Structure 1
């Protein structure tokens, strides 16, 4: 059955989903707050090449859509649900792809369900680019079981985690305490080790303790991803911290991770790692290059 699909958020994830859905012949319309002006030039060019219709607003994008996929930054999960509500069709599925806390997902669900659409939380369980549309995806909520076969027929790799809202996102958030925290710790540890000239000794020790990890390769990957996506990651980890708070704990680790990710994002915005939007941006083959840039910056900063 042919579907009309609305993508809210046309960043890296939105564009990947758009490409894969269009490759299957699906009708796709998209909206992103950055579409207007110079900042959205790359988005508009991509949409034109892929045959994606661009809407003028959230409500316009979702009007007439059978499936809405919200793929924005973590802090925008609830505001996007509010912005889309006026245009949602009765019975339309609203898949919340965002890395938000269980509380935020439950809040977004109330907004969507109140206008007669069907909210389903989605928890993306690893980085999207290597898997593209087939990235492992956990679904949650009363309508998750109904949406699962629809998504998988479109090429997704989705499975129901729970009929209870919040379970899928809690799984994602608890994983992110570790994964995003490890990214931040590697950047902090390896850059500090570089400053003291002990990086080889640290790497050798880590290899002995965790022989299954190629720390050189992993470090370069972590540096690259945080430099490119630290802003989005920091927002996600703030949602992770909120998840920890909702469980009654103080999020010391998650809060620190969010600060480190945001700090690297600030350096990237300032051009420390090259010009954003170019192929060379954050593409160093060696994490040491990026660590040295950070150390040079720190030395010059009063």
Structure 2
């Protein structure tokens, strides 16, 4: 690997394009393959200065490190796609799986990639996308080649080497997100229920009095969530798998996935972050979600 590596990003969505922009700003050449991606991804890639190449084969031939940053449900298919490209154009690139997936899922992906001849690291991203005014997320990395990935510390990313085992970084991400996004799901359900019961003002007053720190978290976290709900469904399901693999009950996280699936299907869930028009505060979110409950068909 060169001292100034070329980076591939799959795919330049909310997090991917922002990480690509940070690397590009720090002097790295950043590539992607936009075949089949949405017009929004195309626009985000252009905004970030990410270069669109013709196909996956070109990507793996030119990139030294490929970061896979997708919705969890697409992660394995992406690894299989890149493995096919690697078999057609052998190269010793480093494939970094940065998706919110269970340790056993990332371990199966390691087998796919290493069988195709590339190296593999497990990366867990904690925190929001890098912006001009922030340091960006922490990228926890584990696996035998973790130090190779850690070179990106020199190019504007906060990289933290966690250990030598594939699955450690994903496991940390699963435990962390079970608390943060799991709590957001629970708050969304409880506050929507209070609205539907006509008890929203009473619950808000009590939370402001007895749980002010939590309430401030809900004020920020719940309104920010709806455009991301479609991504968080799969993440909650992966956390449920992680806990079940350990012998822990998965039902709480399966319930969180169900809440995010419900939000995804509402008018709030259909908006994109750059074009938000509704649900700008906690009261408006619960108003819209409780109305969506009223609109659901009842069983005979």
Bin the TM-score by the shorter chain.
Answer: 0.7 to 0.9
Aligned to 1:237: 236
Q: Secondary structure at the match of 1:253?
A: helix
Among candidates 277, 296, 300, match of residue 301 of structure 1: 296
Deviation string 1:47-94 (CA, Å, 9 cap, x unpaired) is 344432213433432222111000011122222111112334533211
Between 53-62 and 72-81, report the one with greater CA deviation: 53-62
**Aligned residues: CA RMSD:** 2.3
Q: Secondary structure at the match of 1:124?
A: strand
Change (3 A) 1:266 1:59: farther
Between 86-95 and 181-190, report the one with greater CA deviation: 86-95
Q: Which runs of 5+ in 1 are unaligned?
A: none
The residue correspondences of 1:25-64 to structure 2 (distance < 5 A) are 25-32=27-34, 34-35=36-37, 40-64=38-62
Q: Which runs of 5+ in 2 are unaligned?
A: none
Asked if 2 retains the 8 angstrom alpha-carbon contact of 1:4 and 1:27, the reply is yes
The residue correspondences of 1:202-241 to structure 2 (distance < 5 A) are 202-213=203-214, 215=215, 217-241=216-240
Superposed displacement of residue 297, structure 1: 2.6
Deviation string 1:225-245 (CA, Å, 9 cap, x unpaired) is 331010100011111111112
Deviation string 1:16-59 (CA, Å, 9 cap, x unpaired) is 01211221221111124543xxxx32332343444322134334
Deviation string 1:197-249 (CA, Å, 9 cap, x unpaired) is 32233233334443434x1x432433333310101000111111111121123
Asked if 1 retains the 8 angstrom alpha-carbon contact of 2:130 and 2:136, the reply is no
The residue correspondences of 1:151-190 to structure 2 (distance < 5 A) are 151-190=152-191
Between 58-67 and 131-140, report the one with greater CA deviation: 131-140
Change (3 A) 1:226 1:195: same
Deviation string 1:153-195 (CA, Å, 9 cap, x unpaired) is 1211111111011111111101222212111111111111122
